[in-house]
Structure 1
Amino acid sequence: MSGTSENNIVKEVSAVWSRLFDHRPFLQGEINFFVKEFEEKRGEREVEKLFEILEKSTEIRDSQIDKVKHSSETTLPELQEILNQSNQLSDQVINARIAYDPVSVLLLRS
């Protein structure tokens, strides 16, 4: 009989130990709940962001592209002319610097 009572004691101690110290089932349930909640909330935010991006890209396609095209057609030729003038002035400064001879200037002052 002592074998049976020892088995019962071992089983009961094991059951008490499992209830007190084995948190795996509880933790697994909490982790699964957290993951489920996180994925649902994240999924909703991502869908909302995708719709916002779609709206903005549609708006840009419908209205902004024509504005940019018209603006560039009127502004870019003026910008090209200004850049050409700046390039010419830069070339003049470079040529003047190349032609400058400091020794001859000093000799003329003496």
Structure 2
Amino acid sequence: MKFRLNYQVESTGFDYSTNSTYDGGRVDSMIQMLASELSDQDYHELCHQLHGSKSQFDEIDGECSVGSSLQEKKRYTVYSALYRGIYWGTMKALDDLDLEKMEVEEDQD
């Protein structure tokens, strides 16, 4: 699988509040909302960032082994990325790549 980010995004540290609210409540609702908006490509990028740091992401780079549906896998991936402090950094890095691509395309026009 080809990934857009070929480096490890820096973690902002563990967010233990995310861990304590995995099964219900407002934080869990927000995690579910983020997961439902996560594209398949961004899901794979987050899994790639988690590869080597959490066993549920070590079987195949870019995949999560938890959950039976893609939505469950995305939810667990968002939760894990938020907990490990790499969710927002990864999303920003992907946005930066998109912006660079748009600027290059504009320069070529």
Instruction: Looking at secondary structure, tell me which structure has more helix per residue.
Output: 1
Shorter-chain TM-score bucket reads under 0.3
TM-score where L is the length of structure 1? 0.22
Given the two structures, how large is their TM-score scaled by the length of structure 2? Answer: 0.23
Highest relative contact order (Cα 8 Å, sep 6+), 1 or 2?
2
